[in-house]
Amino acid sequence: MILDNGAFHKTKHLSWPLNVRPLFLPPYAPELNPAEKVWWRFKRAYTNMTFETLDQLSDFIAKQVHHQAPPR
């Protein structure tokens, strides 16, 4: 199982099944974590924004989700 280095993934009280081995991504390696690519767009677009209602926030999120990924 591939995991990021979140503290919640590491504890002395966690036991893994015998057929599962955790593989932790190196720290500070967002290029290896696909979820970071999703959050990058939200963080960039959300900077210095406020919303007066949850509907406005919901509309903003919907626009970000439907926006096409930038070309590589």
The answer on pLDDT for 16 being more than 50 is yes
State the burial class of residue 71 (Cβ atoms within 10 Å of its Cβ: 0-12, 13-18, 19+).
Answer: exposed
* pLDDT score for 56: 93
Q: How far apart are CA 20 and CA 32, in angstroms?
A: 20
Q: Where are the domains of the chain?
A: 2-66
* pLDDT score for 23: 85
pTM: 0.44
Give SS3 for 3. Answer: strand
**Higher pLDDT, residue 40 or 59:** 59
